């Protein structure tokens, strides 16, 4: 059976990990880095993912997608307040956001799939085997639509998603395994775009989640934005520069804000420096100034912590250990606030960037049947219900119920001959339908009988992924009834299938982009090496020959900027042919030197 990998699909960075006999490991890329920036760039030659795309972000922001996780499982209405911060156009189709890049549109799961594919490739290169199965993490506070969108992303990337697992619970697995912890622990997980708090009981290898809470729209991105707002305003006030309407500059400011924020975790002050077309903009930031700027955002995380404790029936002092997860918990301010709330020093021995991916790898190993002594019992973060008259939601499954779980409802008719009942499924904690999340609608078919006679039992089942399944059964006949559920903010099965087909086409484009990068790298290496050789062989070849070589090198330099890798390759082989004699001469010279030195050494001996 092929290996199952664990993937942390983050707002800012993504990682892939696997588990062997020694334990879980994060897989590094060729450069040794474990983090892949969750950024996708669409160039004329196909797409680029990760660090190259991050560089692309400043050059060509309108063709570069970042923080796509914020759009997963959402409609346009959900993100309307932050649209102005994104350099690309969005529209909505069938309740799903579509991102417009050039003349193409992509759904968020498609973009996430591009990141997943990069991780898949990274794992395959490292493990030297096919990788087709994965466990993918999501914020614990993700609703059904967001989870389903993540699962769709996996499918589009050619991965069978064996489990969607909550990020804080994944972190607890990695942490508990390493520390052999028992007792009550709180996982405080503040990432790039989301915040989660989970309270768990660890006992004899069972990881039982008692309660979870959070904010699926609060993270490091929001901190950066505060700094950006100040600097954008400042640049206009002091130098009359309008950053809005200049996407390239806006992205430069954003990346600089992020850099300053990160620096201030270790230092008490940091200088922001932004290159402008005519001059530079500089601003000295102190840790205090940033802390006062984001104080309210950090404090917004404390409410969910208190709610989670309340739902778990615990007080802060009963918690044995508090564990910090997510890059944003590196901020000393976050530390202090968490310490204040729980009255104990939080743990962060495990790399907060990697612990979620490591936990996903542990869960993958459990699902693969290798780890048998650990078991995770998670909960559903939000109450599930149906719409009742008057726009009121009536709950069927309460939040923080251990999953899998199911609720049955009996439906009948009130009018003779009525043949259907419309059912609207919701998720959330508010009383009114409009304040909750619409998940899906379906029409229950009923046999045309006198009022009250039909009896159809609908079963709402939340599986171990936190994803809802609906089935119906006619009580009179005992027959199962098919239910066609239409998601409110999700791709249909047909759409997902279409996207899987498209992704093969993208794959061809990816290969093209890759081939160009490789050909360019090779051309660069040849130019450098040949130039060095020309210097060394200055007295060994004729000026005419040297001139000819310089000319073709220049041609290669011009060709490599183009976007046809075949042209570059052709030119490379021309260079190789032209330099054949040069190589021979140099080789002879080297050989002679070697032989001479040998003789010399013989003599010495």
Partner 1 sequence: MPEASEAEIMEHQHQAQATTATSRELPMARSMCWHCQSEVTGEYLCGQCVKVQPLSRDLDYFACFQLPRLLNIDEQYLEKTFYELSRTFHPDFYSTKDESEKAISLGNSAFLNAAYRTLKDPIQRAEYLIRLEAGAVKDIRSNPPADLFEEVLELQETLETFRQLAPKGPSSDLEALRKKLQAEREHLEKRQAEMETSLQHKFNEWDQLQERAALSGQAREEKNTILREMQEILSNRTYVRNMVNDLLETMG
Partner 2 sequence: MAYSEKVIDHYNNPRNVGSFQKDAEDVGTGIVGAPECGDVMKLQIKVENDTIVDAKFKTFGCGSAIASSSLATEWLKGKSLEEAQKIKNTDIVQELNLPPVKIHCSVLAEDAIKAALGDYQKKATDKKSKPAEAAASS
483 binds partner 1 (CB under 8 A): yes
Six-digit token pair at 486? 């239409």
Q: Is 535 in the site for partner 2 (CB under 8 A)?
A: no
Per the CB < 8 A criterion, the answer to whether 487 and 95 are in contact is yes
Q: Give the residue, chosen from 80, 104, 336, 469, that forms a contact with partner 1 under the rule CB under 8 A.
A: 469
**373 an active-site residue?**
no
Q: Cα–Cα distance between 168 and 209 in angstroms, integer?
A: 10
**With the CA atoms of 370, 373, 379 and 381 taken in that order, what torsion angle do they form, in degrees rounded to the nearest 10?**
-60
69 is catalytic: yes
Total residues interacting with partner 1, rule: CB under 8 A:
44
Choose which of 276, 392, 475, 595 interacts with partner 2 (CB under 8 A).
392
Judged by CB, which is closer to partner 2: 295, or 392? 392
Cβ 77 to partner 2 shortest distance, Å: 23
Torsion of CA 196, 197, 201, 204, to 10 degrees: 40
Instruction: Identify how many contiguous H helices and E strands the chain contains and give both numbers.
Output: 14, 30
Query: Max CA-CA distance within the chain?
Result: 115
Minimal distance in Å, beta carbon 75 to partner 2?
23
Which among partner 1, partner 2, none contacts residue 439 (Cβ within 5 to 8 A by kind)?
A: partner 1
| Chain centroid offset of residue 335 CA | 24
Choosing from 144, 152, 189, 495, the catalytic residue is 189
178 binds partner 1 (CB under 8 A): no
Please report the beta strands in 108-203, taking only residues with DSSP state E, as ranges in sequence order.
133-138, 160-166, 183-190, 195-203
* Element holding 223 (H helix, E strand): helix 220-239
Closest distance of CB 367 from partner 1, Å: 4
Query: What part of residues 122-161 is at the interface with partner 1 (CB under 8 A)?
Result: 144, 148
CA angle 76, 81, 83 (to 5 degrees): 65
Query: 3-state SS string over 374-394?
Result: CEEECEECCCEEEEECCCEEE
- Residue 451's binding partner among partner 2, partner 1, none (Cβ under 5 to 8 angstroms by kind) is partner 2
From 121-129, 251-259, 312-320, 414-422, span contacting partner 2 (CB under 8 A)? 414-422
Q: List the interface residues with partner 1, window 189-248 (CB under 8 A).
A: 203-204, 206
What is the three-class DSSP state of 456? strand
How far is Cα 48 from Cα 29, in angstroms, rounded to an integer? 15
From the list 470, 517, 552, 586, which residue makes contact with partner 1 (rule: CB under 8 A)?
470
Decide: is 394 part of the binding site for partner 2 (CB under 8 A). yes
Determine if 434 is a binding residue for partner 2 (CB under 8 A). Answer: no
Binds partner 2 (CB under 8 A): choice among 286, 388, 477, 554: 388
Q: Is 444 in the site for partner 1 (CB under 8 A)?
A: no
Cβ atoms of 460 and 439 closer than 8 Å: no
Sign of CA dihedral 587, 593, 596, 600: negative
Evaluate whether 402 touches 377 at the Cβ level (below 8 Å).
Answer: yes
The answer to whether 383 touches 397, Cβ cutoff 8 Å, is yes
Under rule CB under 8 A, residue 99 binds partner 1: no
Q: Which residues are known to be catalytic?
A: 8, 69, 167, 189
Q: Which residues contact partner 1 (rule: CB under 8 A)?
A: 1, 144, 148, 162-163, 203-204, 206, 363, 366-369, 372, 375-377, 401-406, 439-440, 459, 461, 463-464, 467-471, 473, 478, 480, 482-485, 487, 490, 493
Applying CB under 8 A, which residues contact partner 2? 386, 388-392, 394, 396, 409-412, 414-415, 420-422, 431, 451-452
């Amino acid at each position: 059976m092929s290996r199952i990998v664990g993937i942390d699909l983050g707002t800012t960075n993504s990682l892939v990990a696997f588990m062997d006999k020694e334990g879980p490991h994060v897989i590094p890329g060729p450069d040794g880095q474990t983090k892949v920036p969750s950024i996708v760039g669409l160039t004329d030659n196909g797409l680029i993912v990760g660090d190259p795309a991050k560089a692309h972000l400043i050059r060509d922001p309108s063709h570069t997608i970042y923080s796509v996780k914020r759009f997963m499982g959402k409609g346009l209405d959900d993100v309307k307040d932050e649209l102005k911060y994104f350099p690309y156009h969005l529209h909505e189709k069938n309740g799903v956001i579509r991102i417009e890049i050039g003349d193409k549109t992509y759904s968020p799961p498609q973009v996430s799939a591009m990141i997943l594919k990069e991780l898949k490739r990274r794992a395959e290169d490292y493990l030297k085997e096919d990788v087709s199965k994965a466990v993918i993490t999501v914020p614990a506070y993700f609703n059904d639509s967001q989870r389903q969108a993540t699962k769709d992303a996996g499918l589009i990337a050619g991965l069978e998603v064996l489990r969607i697992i909550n990020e804080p619970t994944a972190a607890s697995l990695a942490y508990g395994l390493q520390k052999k912890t028992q007792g009550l622990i709180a996982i405080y997980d503040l990432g790039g775009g989301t915040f989660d708090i989970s309270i768990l009981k660890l006992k004899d290898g069972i990881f039982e989640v008692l309660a979870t809470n959070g904010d699926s729209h609060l993270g490091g991105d929001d901190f950066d934005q505060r700094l950006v707002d100040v600097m954008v305003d400042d640049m206009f006030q002091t130098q009359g520069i309008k950053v809005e309407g200049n996407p390239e500059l806006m992205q430069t400011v954003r990346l600089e804000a992020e850099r300053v924020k990160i620096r201030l975790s270790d230092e008490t002050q940091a200088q922001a420096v932004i290159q402008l077309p005519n001059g530079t903009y500089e601003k000295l930031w102190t840790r205090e100034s940033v802390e006062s700027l984001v104080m309210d955002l950090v404090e917004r995380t404390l409410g969910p912590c208190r709610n989670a404790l309340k739902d778990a029936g615990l007080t802060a002092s009963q918690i044995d250990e508090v564990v910090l997860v997510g890059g944003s918990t590196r901020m000393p301010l976050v530390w202090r606030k968490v310490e204040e709330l729980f009255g104990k020093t939080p743990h962060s021995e495990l790399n907060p960037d990697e612990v979620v991916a490591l936990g996903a790898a542990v869960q993958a190993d459990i699902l693969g049947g290798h780890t048998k002594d650990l078991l995770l019992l998670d909960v559903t973060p939000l109450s599930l219900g149906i719409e009742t008259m008057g726009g009121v939601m009536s709950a069927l499954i309460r939040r923080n119920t251990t999953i899998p779980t199911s609720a049955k409802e009996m439906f009948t008719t009130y009018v003779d001959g009525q043949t259907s009942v419309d059912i609207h499924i919701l998720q959330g904690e508010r009383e009114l339908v409009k304040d909750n999340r619409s998940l899906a609608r379906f029409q229950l078919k009923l046999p045309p009988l006198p009022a009250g006679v039909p009896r159809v039992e609908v079963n709402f089942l939340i599986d171990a992924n936190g994803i809802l399944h609906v089935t119906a059964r006619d009580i009179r006949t005992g027959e199962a009834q098919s239910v066609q559920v239409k998601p409110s903010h999700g791709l249909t099965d047909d759409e997902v299938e279409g996207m899987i087909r498209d992704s093969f086409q993208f794959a061809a484009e990816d290969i093209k982009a890759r081939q160009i990068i490789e050909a360019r790298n090779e051309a660069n290496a040849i130019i450098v090496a040949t130039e060095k050789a020309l210097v060394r062989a200055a007295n060994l070849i004729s000026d005419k020959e040297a001139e000819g070589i310089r000319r073709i090198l220049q041609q290669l330099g011009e060709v490599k900027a183009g976007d046809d890798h075949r042209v570059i390759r052709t030119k490379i082989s021309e260079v190789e042919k032209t330099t054949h004699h040069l190589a021979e001469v140099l080789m002879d010279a080297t050989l002679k030197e070697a032989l001479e030195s040998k003789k010399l050494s013989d003599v010495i001996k």
